[in-house]
Structure 1
Amino acid sequence: MSSRLNEIRMRDPFVLEVPSGGFVLFGTTDTNLWGGPATGFDCFTSEDLVTWEGPLQAFRPPAGFWADTQFWGPEVHGYDGRFFMLATFASSNPESGPRGVQVLVADEPTGPYVPWSDGPLTPRDRPCLDGTLFIDDEGGPWLVFSRGAEGVPGGAAGPADGEMYARPLSRDLKEAAGPAVLLFTASAAPWSKPLWFPDGVEPPEELNLAKDPLFTDGPFLIRSEGGRLHMLWSSFGEEGYAMGVATSAGGLITGPWVQREQPLWARNGGHGMIFSDPQGVRRLVFHWPNETPDERVKLISVDVSDRGIQLRT
């Protein structure tokens, strides 16, 4: 079945450029995405970024899989001759532990993907989400992820504060290779505001969010041609869900990270990533608007330079 992007309902889109040609679009595709029983992840393929074929079944949980809900934010990277998916999973069984990011693997870009790591590679003391892969200058892989403010009540100092972390991984992406390192908190960005919903829109009860939390999600890392390391990430701003940019002052994944004063995209859309089209133009893909079930995939052009990430006008 052929579709245009404005016809595909999807959150957290991620576009993989296939080495042999063409593109694969992944994202959160479950109907019961907040807390109902999960189905898996679907994907779509395209040769021109205009017409997309699908959906194709990229991942369906095998028998005995530990998670059964909140299948979110799949992203796929070609690495060591195979394709690795990093995705968020949760279980309705408290004994299975909190939500976390697990690594899956496939021999083909569209899958089928199967579990690779033994459960989540994020810390198990608090719910985590939205993992992205970063390879440092020595070839060492890192998992960059968000740790939510859920279950952490705000006090006199203000709302609960979401956090962004990086954790080194083993070369085969199967295991954590060290402790997680705090990169920054949501409150470090001047544009980040406490979570809010428009009048008449109730937040999903299944999220069990602390009252008025600041939060981080949707990290994606990219280097400029001059070697500057930038991170695209999402939170809430004055106009709803938004994307901001942070830059590593030292050029390392561990930072220190300097936040851009204003969001890159402020108008009720986010969880984006950047890739290059066949003409070499940088493209930002994200979901907009943020309300379920109206989310659609949006694609716009951007410039990436030592100064940061800018929307093309």
Structure 2
Amino acid sequence: MRLPEMPLHDPFIVADKKTRTYYLYTSNDPSVSGVDGTGTMVYRSHDLRDWMRPVVVFLTAEQKGIWATDGGWAPEVHPWGGRYYLFTTLHDQDKVLPVPPPGQWGTPFQLSNHMRGTITAVSDSLLGPFTVIDPSRPTPPENLMTLDGTLYVDPSGQPWMVYAHEWLQTIDGTMEAIRLASDLSRTIGDPIFLFKASDAFWLNEQIPGGVPHQLPPYVTDGPQVHHAPDGSLLMLWSTYEKNAVGQDGTIGGGYVQTYAVSASGDIAGPWQQHRPLLRQDSGHGMLFHTFDDQLMMVVHRPFDNARGKLYDIQLLGHELRVVRRRTDLDGGG
């Protein structure tokens, strides 16, 4: 299989040096995996061009007593302590959370607040099967509506989960982080605030004169934290740009791949927002190194009926630059 033939959303690639195999994790799609159910599947490749048919590595239906069986969004797999840990976001619309009081924006929308959050599962193999560690609740605080948890390890070796706090609960979506126990089994202490979506100064720059200004929601989505050689931290993240002028001159919105920098190297920041790396309804990207040490980024595009797109990336200090689109690998389009 090749990327144009591979349905995938929120792609995450693990480059396993032992086997020189790329593992591309995404939500289970029964049309290609042949397995029904909410969960995670993985494609494998040795060259990022030709991929094996996916195999399922996690199913919610196989997790005894799990608190939610819907979602399966944004799976990530991280090596830690000699094992592999899967993070993926689940939700249960029947478990309603209380609507918080109005914030600075008021509540101009009918908010939908229900349990949503990232779970942690573990396996001895990149091919699973993964078993949820705590089936009773999501890993972040369960009273928060969160998604897209990712692993960050600070210079002292302390693991954290960084996640997006849903605009559905905050109106102005935020990025937050919370410490994890050494075995990733539970959280420690309270979350810390990193930044909010509206901190992206460029979000409203393209609104043409005469077009009504759209107030929030402002969306936070898809964090991935990356250590830069100069000691700073980079965070890829995505949002939804409203009232932007498209390449064809029309006015609309779209998914956007952007990033922020903590020059201090501290997860607490302060975080400085940078201009988008990609527009064109592209997003939920992550950085990885190929086996010949080329820094690359994978994203999905478009948001609906998504396919994977690959880019060579250059890191200068803590500035990211898109070098070229790898149409030789992702088939163009």
TM-score bin, normalised by smaller chain? 0.7 to 0.9
Alignment partner, residue 238 of structure 2: 234
Structure 1 pair 99–302 and aligned structure 2 pair: CA distance change class (3 A): same
Question: 1:140-151 maps to which residues of 2 (within 5 A)?
Answer: 140-151=158-169
- Mapped pair 1:74 → 2:75: yes
Does the aligned pair in 2 maintain the 1:166–1:183 contact within 8 Å? Answer: yes
Does the aligned pair in 1 maintain the 2:42–2:55 contact within 8 Å? Answer: yes
| In structure 2, distance between residues paired with 1:81 and 1:164 | 29
Question: 1:152-231 maps to which residues of 2 (within 5 A)?
Answer: 152=170, 160-192=171-203, 212-231=216-235
Q: Deviations over 1:173-212 (max 9, x none)?
A: 001011100100000011336xxxxxxxxxxxxxxxxx95
Alignment partner, residue 206 of structure 1: none
For 1:302, what is the secondary structure of its paired residue?
strand
Alignment partner, residue 260 of structure 2: 246
Q: Deviations over 1:51-81 (max 9, x none)?
A: 1112101101224322121110000011110
Alignment partner, residue 8 of structure 1: 6
CA RMSD of aligned residues (A): 2.1
Alignment partner, residue 64 of structure 1: 65
The unaligned stretches of length 5 or more in structure 2 are 98-113, 205-214, 247-253, 325-333
**Aligned-pair distance for 1:31?**
6.8
**Aligned-pair distance for 1:17?**
1.3
Give the number of aligned pairs: 281
Q: Give the alignment partner of residue 306 of structure 2, picking from 274, 289, 295.
A: 295
**Aligned-pair distance for 1:307?**
3.2
Larger Rg: 2
Structure 1 letter corresponding to 2:121: L
Q: Give the alignment partner of residue 286 of structure 1, picking from 296, 299, 302.
A: 299
Structure 2 letter corresponding to 1:85: L
Q: Give the alignment partner of residue 119 of structure 2, picking from 102, 114, 132.
A: 102
The unaligned stretches of length 5 or more in structure 1 are 153-159, 194-210
- Mapped pair 1:138 → 2:143: no
Structure 1 pair 182–151 and aligned structure 2 pair: CA distance change class (3 A): closer
Question: 1:38-49 maps to which residues of 2 (within 5 A)?
Answer: 38-49=37-48
Fraction of identical pairs, as percent = 34
| In structure 2, distance between residues paired with 1:151 and 1:228 | 30
**TM-score scaled to structure 2, two decimals?**
0.80
Does the aligned pair in 1 maintain the 2:38–2:71 contact within 8 Å? Answer: no
Structure 2 letter corresponding to 1:54: R
Structure 1 pair 165–276 and aligned structure 2 pair: CA distance change class (3 A): same
| In structure 1, distance between residues paired with 2:310 and 2:120 | 26
Alignment partner, residue 318 of structure 2: 307
Structure 2 letter corresponding to 1:268: D
**Aligned-pair distance for 1:151?**
4.3
| In structure 1, distance between residues paired with 2:318 and 2:47 | 30
Does the aligned pair in 2 maintain the 1:230–1:246 contact within 8 Å? Answer: yes
**Aligned-pair distance for 1:225?**
1.8
Between 95-104 and 211-220, the greater mean CA deviation after superposition: 95-104
**TM-score scaled to structure 1, two decimals?**
0.85
| In structure 2, distance between residues paired with 1:55 and 1:40 | 12
